[in-house]
Structure 1
Amino acid sequence: MAQTNGAKVVPLLEDSVECLFFSAHSSDGYDWDALCLQLNTCIQSLSTNYIWHRDEFRVHRPIEYASKEDIPEHLASITCFGDNIEDEWFIVYLVLEITKKFKNLIVQVRDDDGEFLLIEAADYLPSWANPDSTDNRVFIYQGQIHIIPPNLQRDAELKDALQMIANSSNKTVASNAIQQSILNRIGNYPEKMHNLFHRTVVKLPVDIAALITLKPALIAPLVNAFCNHDVLDAKACKSIEYNDCVIMGIKFTKCLYAMLMHAKPLKNINFKEMNDKKCVIGHKLTAGYQILMNKPNLDIFSSKQYKNFMSKLNASGYFKNNIEGSKDYNELLRNAKEFYSIMECPVNSQVANEISNMKLSIEFAQTREDLLQKKSTGEEFKLDDEDWLKIDPDQLNELLDSRYGKRTKFNDNDTLTANNVTSKLSSFLMKTSDFEGIETTKDDSTGNVELDPEDFVNSVQKMLDMITIGKEASDSDEDNSSSGDDMEQDDELEVVTQAGLQDNKTILKNIIQSMKEEGLSGPSSNLLKSVGVKKTDLLDSDDDDDE
């Protein structure tokens, strides 16, 4: 669980992103409440029609208590993106846009893995950057990524870091390569937003159809409730009513639609139209609605979670010894309830309360009546094809190459000699690791090298077996496996690199022999794949052991 320097009610949850908004200059007399309102208005404008997978991205004034850190006053947001990591990168896009408009803001963005922006830009980071050396050194300011190097500021104290960004931003702005790698990951929002959606036709009870018409984003909690249901939730759906249905077009995110399509319908449901896809989808959404609305304790301030929240506040001295019922106490209580309802209340409880309130509105009654009178057949709705649900190997390779970079490979016309194969392997073994995977050295222009850690350890052990001089292959395997089990990965790398791969012909011959013995695939094949050599490049069908 990630911790930040700011005081907050709970540590950062898994699959969550946290943003802290600081003032670049003195915050004395700063109207943080007004700024919070302005930021949320800006976010709402930039994210119109976006469907959040779990939490909406909203900024709030944090409730600070039991703080042992000297952290400047700030605004904050904690957003759980759940199964859709695209939400995380959309938030980065929003923060970049916000800091272009609000030029006085410096924003710190992290998730439960830490500095995920640096992980994305791992191929372009300076040599000093690692997970232990970058705390309070990475910020977003005026639409750009800023990184404070140790030569500018040895101790990464937050207040000093913010001052450094504000006063010397020309020295802290990250390289173009780092900026571009992050922009490439974000994509071309807002245009990209349209490619994230899938539109289809669904048959739904009119009440649910009216709710989704009024607030299309409700599709996310309905899908999540169904896809994450347990046995008790399924029992609550035995009395599900699928009456007064209408046909309507619905917009999903592709992530939500894929989740729903792969989730099996509930068992023991007497449903005659299960061969009709729009009815199957409608039935799943109806079950999700039933699960949401069946949760007890719709009064969020009577829930167990709220009582635990209040207990933490009391224990931390949040109420500052004010007498219960006093003016100051009531003001603090109002702020605590507002914070809880926005940030701490379980999502299902939030949605259930929102739905209950919506159903009491005049707009809901009118929308419901309009849908019943319309009597849609679904033919007037624009539907998206589902080809994106299927992907062939070439598309997958192209996707992985664009996302993770291509491996160092031989060209088709390269001659595979003992010297250049082992040279490639030697170069591969000499790489150093950084935030993610293997990092090339400064004078290396060969590009990125990818590595499967498990395959690599196995391959290195095989190499150690093969370069043991004066022993038969079978004896070498037995002897080195007993000693290699006790060796750390760094020790294995040192042995290999010290050996220098000097006897290229002998080593290549041993590799070929090992590849013959290991069948279709194995450690030697995997190691050669890492530098772009295929097994078929070295072996012919008539190869024998003496060659």
Structure 2
Amino acid sequence: MDKTNVNDIFNRPPTISEDTLHYVLYPPHKLSDKVSVTTLATVMQNYVESILPDFLWHRDAFQLKIIPNEDSGEGYVLEGRMRVGDCVDDEWCAVWLLWQISGKWDVAISVSDSDGEFLLIEAAEHLPSWVTPTNAENRVWIYQSHLHLIPLSHISAPSSKPQRRKYTGSNDTDDEEEPDVDDEDYIGAQDALKVLRDSVESTAAPKSVEEAVWNRIHGYPAATTQHTHHTKTYLPVDVAKALSKNPSLVQKAVETFYTRDAIQLRAAHRMSRFPPEPSVLTTTTMTRTAYAQLMGQKFYPPKIFGRWSEREGTPEWRWRDIGMKIACGFEMLYQESKNKTVTTNELSADASKSSAEARKDALRRNPDYIAYIENLKKSGYFRGEVEGSALWNQLEDKAASAFVEARKDDDATRTSFAAEVKAVLVQVADDDSICRREEDSEDWLNVDESDFDAMLEKAAGKSGTTPSKVESAAMDVDSRLEADEDRLANEQAEKLKTMAKKVEDFLEGKGDIEGARFQDEEFSDEEFGGK
């Protein structure tokens, strides 16, 4: 191998996992027209914001898009695609949200990720023997705040089966023939929904299966307090102002810095939009994953940052280091996106307000929008406000944005990072709103022996353990370590190895899953407003 190729291998930037969560929400037939589904998207999104206010998603935010129901060929459904990257917490938080939504509205929800039916993977230890990766498609549902499994006694015509879904990690090749059992056991989404909603036969998943999933999500929303980290940082003034208005911008900047390449670094060496000085000491909020990514990279400041007077290893030096990395991420992403299509978000505050009024005037000539607003009235969205009041207008602005956003065909018109920064900066007149709260402890970055043992026990198959029991188990492990550390370590290693092998077999579809076991009405307030 020549020197160039060696350098290419070892100088590649870190990559972000492309793990993507995909979920589809199927409303009942009477609410599957486009206006009704748009209304559901808005009231559900509003509900999500109310129970997770100001939640900071690591990569993509929870969203709901309206798409045609390709399974039935008529009506519409809601769909979401979230890149969760290296932050698995986002995936389980989204599942918790879907669980809550299913209990409030009459929607059946399917959810999968890059590994396939990950809810079954989580419960692999407890699954019925008939469940395999090749027959699980369209059989796993979240409905009425419970997990459901459609039995094999319900199938669809083999001719209705589309091209088989490929599972990450499987050994399938294009030359392999799919076993006949796949066609025989296949059920389409629409047939599965009929069984779920209309069948007298119970489709509830076994209690142990549901508990395995519930144990991963029952800690929300309280668990979100352990999702973010507050740290002091020295930031260019405009970066601090932008983050004071829209804290989520830091996530994109961190990702850009973390995955930077040589071309992007040219912008960081100039810092023409966000010069290092004047700077301000502020408190920045980001996900713990993002903070760990910044802390884990050694990066020498570009010369434009000058020499810091702070001594390395002190908190003040760390504030300079983290702030410098965020500023570089802002600069690189801003320069990369500043020439993208200009949107109304880049207008001044007054012009933006005028644009919002013009948009509403245009939308009011759309019959779908008029029906949509009427549905929102029935749902209680406007909180009993008099039409035309200040709060009414504010809520309608939000509803109009949601109407447009939910109906976008793709993300091609998504606002650029540069446009988002410009939009928030015109709303911040001075630095009075810059956050100066105390920073959080970094203790969570250090995993001690007992914490590691507790995680090993959970991974080894004790997924039904409640948080308090996990703490007790960790204490027990500590006492046993003192008596027989080697024996315990060997036992746990074997458990983890066995569990990993069995989950791997399930993912790859090897053998039977037993190998993964250890022992037409008018709309009503309720329909749109939830239960």
Find the aligned partners of 2:234 and 2:32 in 1 and give their Cα distance: 56
Distance 1:75 1:341, change over 3 A: closer
Q: Distance in 1 between matches of 2:32 and 2:458?
A: 47
Two-structure CA RMSD over aligned residues (Å): 4.0
- What pairs with 1:245-264 in structure 2 (closer than 5 Å)? 245-264=279-298
Deviation at 1:68? 8.6
SS of residue paired to 2:233? strand
- Are 2:435 and 1:435 aligned? no
Q: Is the 8 A contact 2:154 2:187 kept in 1?
A: no
Aligned match for 1:402, one of 444, 458, 461: 458
Residue 21 of structure 2 aligns with an amino acid whose one-letter code is: V
Q: Secondary structure at the match of 1:31?
A: helix
**Using a 3 Å threshold, how does the CA distance of structure 1 residues 134 and 301 change in structure 2: closer, same or farther?**
farther
Give 1:360's aligned residue: 426
Give the distance between the partners of 1:443 and 1:226, measured in 2 at CA. 43
- In the TM superposition, what is the alpha-carbon distance from 1:342 to its structure 2 partner? 8.6
Offset at residue 266 of structure 1 (A):
4.3
The ranges of structure 1 where at least 4 consecutive aligned residues each deviate by more than 6 angstroms after the TM superposition are 334-337, 339-342, 437-445
Is residue 391 of structure 2 the alignment partner of residue 350 of structure 1? no
Shift in Å, 1:248: 1.4
Which residue in 1 is equivalent to 2:444?
388
2:432 is the alignment partner of 1:370: yes
Measure, in 2, the Cα distance between the counterparts of 1:181 and 1:140. 14
Q: Where does 1:464-543 land on structure 2 (aligned, <5 Å)?
A: none
Query: Gaps spanning 5+ residues in structure 2: where?
Result: 1-16, 156-184, 344-365, 368-400, 464-479, 484-493, 520-531
Write the mapping of 1:451-466 to structure 2, written as runs, cut at 5 A.
none
1:207 aligned onto 2:238? yes
> Cα offset for 1:211?
1.2
What is the aligned partner in structure 1 of residue 83 from structure 2? Answer: 80
What's 2:116 paired with?
114
Q: Give the drift of 1:296.
A: 4.4
On the 8 A contact 1:146/1:169 being kept in 2, the answer is: no
When residues 298 and 182 of structure 1 are mapped into structure 2, their CA distance, relative to the original with a 3 A threshold, is farther
Q: Alignment length, in residue pairs?
A: 378
Aligned to 2:47: 42
Does structure 2 retain, via aligned residues, the 8 Å contact 1:246–1:371?
no
Q: Secondary structure at the match of 2:67?
A: coil
TM-score (norm 2): 0.63
* Distance (whole Å) between structure 2 residues aligned to residue 57 and residue 169 of structure 1: 34
> Which residue in the other structure is 1:471 paired with?
none
1:228-250 deviation line (CA, Å, top 9, x unaligned): 11101111111121112111122
200 and 268 in structure 1: CA distance in 2 versus 1, 3 angstrom threshold: closer
CA contact (8 A) 2:132 2:512 kept: no
CA pair 384-169 structure 1, distance change in 2 beyond 3 A = farther
**Deviation of 1:212 (Å):** 1.0
**Cross-structure match for 1:233:** 264
What does residue 285 of structure 1 align with?
326
Give the deviation of 1:441 after TM superposition: 9.0
Residue 307 of structure 2 is aligned with which of 250, 266, 272?
272
Identity rate of aligned residues, in percent? 26
1:341 deviation in Å? Answer: 6.8
SS class of match (2:153): coil
Q: Name the counterpart of 1:52.
A: 57
2:228 counterpart residue number: 197
- In 1: Cα distance, 2:214 partner to 2:289 partner: 22
**Which structure 1 residue ranges, 5 or more long, are not aligned?**
1-12, 303-326, 329-333, 414-423, 449-547
Letter in 1 for 2:443: D
CA–CA distance in 2 between the matches of 1:76 and 1:91?
A: 13
Is residue 298–residue 353 contact of structure 1 (8 Å, CA) maintained in 2?
no
Greater C-alpha radius of gyration: 1
TM-score normalized by structure 1? 0.61
Partners of 1:206 and 1:371 within 8 A in 2: no
What residue identity is the alignment partner of 2:217?
I
2: distance between equivalents of 1:261 and 1:198? 12
Q: Find the aligned partners of 1:369 and 1:50 in 2 and give their Cα distance.
A: 23
Cα distance in 2 between the residues matched to 1:220 and 1:293: 13
